[in-house]
Homo-oligomer: A and B are copies of this chain.
Amino acid sequence: LTRVDIGDASSDANAGDGDGDDGASARADSPLPDDLTRDSLELPELSEPELARHYTRLSQMIYGIDSGPYPLGSCTMKYNPKFTEDVAALPSGAVHPDRSERSIQGTLEVLYRLQDYLGRIGGMDAVTLQPPAGAAGEFVGIRVAAAYHEHNGEGHRDEVIVPESAHGTNFATAALGGYDVVSLPSDEDGRVDLDALEAALSENTAALMLTNPNTLGLFERDIEEIAAMVHDVGGLLYYDGANLNALLGRARPGDMGFDVMHYNVHKTFATPHGGGGPGAGPVGVVEELAPFLPAPRVNEADDDGESDESTYELFDPDHTIGHVHGYQGNWLVLVKAFAYIARLGDDGLADASAKAVLNANYLASQIEYDVPYEPFHHEFVASAGEQDAADVAKRMLDYGVHPPTTKWPEIVPEALMTEPTEIESKDTLDRLAGAFNAVVDEDDATIEAAPDRTTARRIDQTAAARSPRLSWHALDDADER
């Protein structure tokens, strides 16, 4: 660690920009008065070659999509086309959000076209690109629903219905929006129980949040009836886009009766997940809800008659809920999603879903674990039966593959929620099936001790939570740094 003391003003010594500073002591001086500055800053001082090695080494201790199959159910880990990084890196796209609209017509055109693409794909009338992640998209949906009800004098609606098997974000988002969450059990086929839905619906229903296919990969066949029931009580139908990769070109949420939806671009449109983010969670709505979307959105400007090219402008929807992000969301993600959709087009998108569904069905046919619910689409939930699903996952790491999502949805005991996506070849799926089938016969002692072929062996998560050490400063032994 290097400690830099922040000293007195000495502005002459600091006038330079770039290289050529004269020495460590001069550099630590500050042009500000002492009482406005901190005393010191202690951080490591490393050269570029040392940093290159540090981060290269760290990268070698990470399993990514270029390492092998990554069948995380409901997370849709697809291959991230390399060229999308190139379009995101174009210097012409690196603009400040406070630039005048006339000076960033290119940026606005990309956003406008992406809004348009997403509207067509989801069957929605209007789209906002501002939400910086799927959960933020859900929040926009809930806020839009609230604003809509409020606008209609229905501010009393204080319940959001969420199926038991839904993503945790659905519950948390509804709560963040100030709603009471009404949990909806599944029927024995793994789908929405219409009787339970009937019971849950009331004049207090603000919205039902649903994903389709659901987390078991099953299509909610009664979707038309569900929509009618929700609409009958004055509620809105929200579509969680997490599973949209199952349906591209086959069905559209808008056509099923959904009023509002979010798109997970890192799932459906192959933008990289970056070890946790950034994502983007654009939200599409039907016409009636468009006035409530976040501000600003992008529109084509009236033709000035002088130019062949369209011009674009920002506008605030009439009854906008305002901002849900300081600016316009995650530009670098959005431009990649635009490029992906523009590359694949109708044919490519439809084929992506077709192959995603084929892959899930093929993989399920090759594994020995039981898959209780079907017919599933892009993902299936196997049961580890007597085994602990989390242990199965750890053991699969030893076979060189990434395991599925585990222990969820709870409707399947010891769930192994598996989504291979369209990008895996038959060979890879066979290898993945081999990993499942190797573990299925192993005893508890073996899988509880796993993994033992990884960078780190099984990590004690309980200890980490019991005495949290969350920075170098919290480590007892400074030498560990």
When distances are taken between beta carbons in the complex, the residues of chain B under 8 Å from A48 are 79, 81-82
When distances are taken between beta carbons in the complex, the residues of chain B under 8 Å from A428 are 50
Shortest CB-to-CB span from A77 to chain B, Å, is 11
Shortest CB-to-CB span from A352 to chain B, Å, is 12
A105 within 8 A of B: no
Known: A47-B425, A60-B60, A425-B47. A66 touches B52 (CB 8 A): yes
CA distance A302 to B68 in the complex (A): 60
CA distance A47 to B423 in the complex (A): 9
CA distance A471 to B462 in the complex (A): 52
A103 within 8 A of B: no
CA distance A47 to B82 in the complex (A): 13
Known: A47-B425, A60-B60, A425-B47. A53 touches B81 (CB 8 A): no
Shortest CB-to-CB span from A89 to chain B, Å, is 10
Chain B residue nearest to A424 (CB atoms) is B49
CA distance A438 to B57 in the complex (A): 23
One digit per residue, 1 when the CB lies within 8 angstroms of any chain B CB and 0 when it does not, for chain A 48-92 equals 111011001100100001111000000000010110000000000
B68-A53 in contact (CB<8A): yes
A82-B425 in contact (CB<8A): no
CA distance A182 to B48 in the complex (A): 45
Shortest CB-to-CB span from A227 to chain B, Å, is 37
Chain B residue nearest to A46 (CB atoms) is B425
- For chain A, what secondary structure do more than half of its interface residues adopt (helix, strand, loop), or is it mixed? loop
CA distance A53 to B80 in the complex (A): 12
A66-B53 in contact (CB<8A): yes
Shortest CB-to-CB span from A303 to chain B, Å, is 31
Of residues 391 through 433 on chain A, the ones whose CB sits less than 8 Å from some CB of chain B are 423-425, 428
Of A48, A53, A56, A424, most buried by chain B (CB within 10 Å of CB) is A53
A82-B50 in contact (CB<8A): no
A79-B49 in contact (CB<8A): yes
When distances are taken between beta carbons in the complex, the residues of chain B under 8 Å from A57 are 67
Query: Out of B49, B68, B425, which one reaches A423, CB within 8 Å?
Result: B49
Chain B residue nearest to A348 (CB atoms) is B19
B66-A79 in contact (CB<8A): no
CA distance A423 to B425 in the complex (A): 43
Of residues 253 through 273 on chain A, the ones whose CB sits less than 8 Å from some CB of chain B are none
B60-A66 in contact (CB<8A): no
CA distance A68 to B56 in the complex (A): 10
Known: A47-B425, A425-B47. A56 touches B52 (CB 8 A): no
B56-A425 in contact (CB<8A): no
When distances are taken between beta carbons in the complex, the residues of chain B under 8 Å from A423 are 47, 49
Shortest CB-to-CB span from A348 to chain B, Å, is 9
When distances are taken between beta carbons in the complex, the residues of chain B under 8 Å from A82 are 48, 52
Shortest CB-to-CB span from A414 to chain B, Å, is 30
A56-B67 in contact (CB<8A): yes
CA distance A433 to B249 in the complex (A): 62
CA distance A52 to B83 in the complex (A): 12
When distances are taken between beta carbons in the complex, the residues of chain B under 8 Å from A68 are 53
20 contacts between A and B (CB under 8 A): A47-B423, A47-B425, A48-B81, A48-B82, A49-B66, A49-B79, A49-B423, A49-B424, A50-B425, A50-B428, A52-B66, A52-B79, A52-B82, A53-B66, A53-B67, A53-B68, A56-B66, A56-B67, A57-B67, A60-B60
Q: Which 3 A-B pairs have the closest CB atoms?
A: A49-B79, A56-B66, A49-B423
New A-B contacts (19) at CB < 8 Å, excluding given A47-B423, A48-B82, A56-B67: A47-B425, A48-B79, A48-B81, A49-B65, A49-B66, A49-B79, A49-B423, A49-B424, A50-B425, A50-B428, A52-B66, A52-B79, A52-B82, A53-B66, A53-B67, A53-B68, A56-B66, A57-B67, A60-B60
Enumerate chain A interface residues (CB-CB to B < 8 A).
47-50, 52-53, 56-57, 60, 65-68, 79, 81-82, 423-425, 428
